[in-house]
Each structure stands twice: as structure tokens, then as C-alpha cells.
Amino acid sequence: MSQTPFIADAWYRPMIARPRDEKHRSATALELFFDLCFVAAVAQAAVAFEHELAEGHIGHGILGYALVFFAIWWAWMNFTWFASAYDNDDVPYRLLTLVQITGALIMAAGAAEALQHQDFTVITWGYVVMRLAMVTQWLRAARSDPDRRTTCLRYAAGILVVQAGWVGRLFLPGDGGLAVFAVLALAELAVPAWAERAAITTWHPHHIAERYGLFTIIVLGESITAATVAVRTALDGDAALSDIATLVVGGILTVFALWWYYFAQDAPRRLTSLRSALMWGYGHYVVFASAAAVGAGLALNVAHTTGHGHLTDHTAAAAYTIPVAVYITVVWLLHHRASEVRNTNDIIHPGAVLAILAATFSPTPVLVTGILATVLIAATLVVGARAAAATRHA
């Protein structure tokens, strides 16, 4: 009997804005399920990226990966910020989230075709399914939140117009090429900035930081999975464990260091305004994409070491060292303003990045990268401890 009122209430709840200062706001089970389903698209994009690089299609692979990952990241990001402000967990909300999960799985099915052959038909339809579900969610919010009705209606209208553009692009010769994609992508990026000017939605800083952190963990975990599959494939062939031991050790050290580096930062303190929120959210396109590319690069180096692929030693190494360097750089930039770079301690971060890029030319680039990333963590711990001690004695 005690559950009856909850069940009846869960069928429908007004989608009112959640308080920005809500206590103990954390990720829900539905959001975690959404992420796990969504990472299927990330995995497919990473595998296709690895395949393109292994075949020597460097430019084509990088461009295709950037375009495909934009669709994956943007659809995930929009759901995340909406849920932070309006998650009411009633039946319509859950069903619309299920529709978005379905769209994510369609995107996963079309990721390889889009990346390898520039055929965006399947991934576009999956993306549009997700975005139209978001239109419905924004319309629900507009009905229940009069203070931010204009904002919600702007989101709904902007998303709908841009989706019409994505569908129309499929009927253009050659999908309209890169120029049309760029115009539509910029239009997508402009919608939140335009909508939030009417009235800022009540996204929760700690919830947003947690959601991004959790997805970073999942993407790094996918990198480990991809590398594990590559190692097992190599061992099932003619490779011995000694042949790939440095890759295994270096990969483990690298991913662990990247995880540590990300969570050593105090994310919520940066999410204090619309401008900082947009920079944070948009910057994570590079964070997520580079994290997934680390796994692809590691798998590529395993294959290269065992005699597969068409890359030179340095090119294969760069496929690993560059994503690691990009990841560290962007995470550092997201947490530091130029005015805060005041002393020599801040040199350790760009210095580590340069050292990792130089590791491309070492005999064991993956192992050296892992060691350098670990040294970076140790250095930041030492600097942090000294800063804390200086503060206590001040």
C-alpha cells in the first residue's frame, strides 16, 4: 500500500525546474543506463577510427572521426544538461529517454559507415530520433515552467529547425560535403547560447560535473576494453606476451594517469556562469574524443607491433601520443585561466605535454608515455602538497 501513491504519482509529474542549489543532487540510475548504452556509439567510432588509421587513411580517418564524434557528443551533452534542470522521472520522461537510447543505438550502427565511407544516412536518422525526443522534452518543460518558457521554446524551435537541416542534407549531392556539415554543426552549437539568454535553466553544477566525470570514466574504460581485445587478438596469433609487454604496461599507466589527472581537478567551482558552462561543455568534445582515441591508438600499436597495418613506427606512435597530449592539454585548459598561470609550477603541465609528444620518437613510445603521464601526476601531487602547506603556514 505504501508504494501505491508513488506509482500513481510517477505516471505524470509537472516538469518544473529543479532547484539549482538542491542538496545531494547526483546522477540517477536512468542516466547511468543512458551512458552505458550511449558508449556503444563511442566504441564503434573508435574501432572504425583505428581501422582507418591502420589502413593508412590518416586524413580521412581523422576527419571522419571528428564528424562522427560530434554527433555522439552533442546528443549526449544536450540530454545531460536538460536532465540536470528538468529530470522529473515520470513515465513520459523515462519513455522519451528510451527513445533517445534507441537513437543512440542507431547511431552506433551507422558510426562505422559514416566514418569509413562518409555515408551519414544511418547515423543521421539515429541522431534525429534523439533530437526530436529532446524537442518533446523541451515542450513539456515549457508548459510546466512559465519562468523559463521562452528559453524552453527557443530550445525546441532551434533543435527542430536544425534537424530539418540534417535531414535535408541527406538529399544533397554528396550529402552537401563538409561545408554544409560545418554550418549545421555551428547552428547546433548556437542554440543553447541563444536559448539561455532568455533565462538560464537551473542546471546543477555538482550534478553536471559528476555526469561529465562518469562519462569520462566510461570512455576511458572503453579504451581499456578496446586495448584488451587487441592484446587478446595478438596473443591468439603468433605474438608472445613479451612482444607486447611494454604496450600493456604503458597503456595501463597512461589510462590510470588520465583518470587521476581528470579527477584531481575541482570541476564545480568552474561552473559559475553561462559562459563558463558553455566553455566547459564544449571543451569536453575534445576530452571525450581524445580519451576514446587513446584506446584506438593503443590497439593500433598492438597491431603494428605484431606486424599488422601499413603505418611507419613514428606514425603508429603518434596515433597514441597525440591523443594523450591533447587530453592533458584540454583538461588543464578547462581548469585554468590565463590569469592563474603565475609561477613556474604551472610549467609542469605544458612541459609534460611536450615530453609526451617527444616520446613519439622513442623506441617504446607507449611505455614512455605511460611513465611521463605518471610523473605528471606525481609532480602535481607534490606541488599541491606544497601549496597546501604554504596556505596552512601563511
Q: CA-CA distance, 326 to 306, in Å (whole number)?
A: 27
At residue 345, the pLDDT reads 57
Q: CA-CA distance, 42 to 328, in Å (whole number)?
A: 20
For cell 530520433, name the residue. Answer: 129
At residue 2, the pLDDT reads 38
Q: What is each CA distance from 177 to 75, 89, 292, in whole angstroms?
A: 21, 40, 25
Bin 60: left if φ > 0, else alpha if -120 < ψ < 50, else beta. alpha
At residue 394, the pLDDT reads 56
At residue 5, the pLDDT reads 43
At residue 343, the pLDDT reads 54
For residue 321, which of 289, 350, 354 has the smallest C-alpha distance? 354
At residue 338, the pLDDT reads 44
User: Cβ(279)–Cβ(298) under 8 Å?
Assistant: no
Q: What is the pLDDT along the chain (394 residues), one digit of tens a residue?
A: 334 444 545 788 899 999 988 888 889 999 999 999 888 999 999 999 999 998 889 999 999 999 999 999 999 999 999 999 999 999 999 999 999 999 999 999 999 999 988 899 999 999 999 999 999 999 999 999 999 999 999 999 999 999 999 999 999 987 778 999 999 999 999 999 999 999 999 999 999 999 999 999 999 998 888 888 888 888 877 777 777 889 989 999 999 999 999 998 777 777 888 888 888 899 999 999 999 999 999 999 988 888 777 789 999 999 999 999 999 999 988 877 544 555 555 678 889 999 999 999 999 999 999 999 999 998 888 876 676 666 666 5
Q: 27 in helix, strand or coil?
A: coil
Provide the residue ranges of all domains of the chain, joining segments of one domain with +: 25-196, 205-393
At residue 315, the pLDDT reads 94
Give the burial class of 173: count Cβ atoms within 10 A of its Cβ; 0-12 exposed, 13-18 middle, 19 or more buried.
exposed
User: Cβ(212)–Cβ(283) under 8 Å?
Assistant: no
- Long-range contacts of the stretch 366-369 (C-beta < 8 A, 24+): 366/246, 366/247, 366/250, 366/251, 366/254, 366/298, 366/301, 366/317, 366/320, 367/246, 367/247, 367/249, 367/250, 367/253, 368/250, 369/250, 369/254, 369/320, 369/321, 369/324
At residue 8, the pLDDT reads 47
Alpha-carbon radius of gyration of the chain: 22
H helix runs in 87-120, sequence order: 91-117
